[in-house]
Amino acid sequence: MTTMPEPGSAEDIANAALFLVSDEAAYVNGAVLPVDGACTAY
């Protein structure tokens, strides 16, 4: 198992939230967006 290089921050969560409310995510629907430094990828 690989450890995360650094703990997440409130800014990481805020950036994900900003993406979801932006026009860039207009076609995203019903998705789970993990913000965990790829920890769930393993």
Domain limits for position 31: 10-41
- Residue pair 12/33 in contact (Cβ under 8 Å)? The answer is no
Residue 30 lies in a domain: yes
Residue 15 lies in a domain: yes
Residue 34 lies in a domain: yes
In which region does residue 19 sit, left (phi positive, over 0), alpha (psi from -120 to 50) or beta (all else)?
alpha
Q: What is the pLDDT of residue 40?
A: 78
Total count of domains within the chain: 1
Residue 19 lies in a domain: yes
Using pLDDT thresholds of 50, 70 and 90, give the confidence band for residue 4.
Answer: low
C-alpha 40/C-alpha 17 separation (Å) is: 19
Q: Which residues contact 28 (CB under 8 A, 6 or more apart)?
A: 20
Residue 18 lies in a domain: yes
- Residue pair 31/25 in contact (Cβ under 8 Å)? The answer is no
Q: What is the pLDDT of residue 29?
A: 94
Whole-model pTM? 0.72
**Structure confidence by residue, pLDDT tens digits, 10-38:** 999 999 999 999 999 999 999 999 988 88
Residue 16 lies in a domain: yes
Residue 3 lies in a domain: no
